Amino acid sequence: MENVDKRVLKVLKIINSIGNFENSNNFLVDGLVDSLDIIRLITLLETEFEISINALDIVPENFDSIKNITKLIKQKIAIKQIYKWYHLTN
């Protein structure tokens, strides 16, 4: 399986194919994405990773860099795995 950050970058390139996401520490400040792009990004990430991103997670710092998006995705995947394990054992 591809690592998460490469998959995140692929999703970002769907939104902005010419954006230099790899060298940006803040996509919003650098103008690579706007608020509407974030909504689209969330939908694409949920589909790509088979996760749910809830309203409390939708804050700028979770979507401003590949590092922070990857961190959020890994947390969501871990929660999903724990949830599955719990329901299999109970």
List the one residue out of 19, 11, 87 whose CA is nearest residue 49.
11
**Where does 1-90 have alpha helices with state H?**
4-15, 35-49, 66-89
Distance CA 4, CA 67 (A): 10
Distance CA 67, CA 1 (A): 18
Give the tens place of pLDDT for each residue, 11-60.
999 999 999 999 999 999 999 999 999 999 999 999 999 999 999 999 99
Paired tokens of 64? 């401003």
Distance CA 4, CA 50 (A): 13
Query: With a threshold of 0.95, does the pTM exceed it?
Result: no
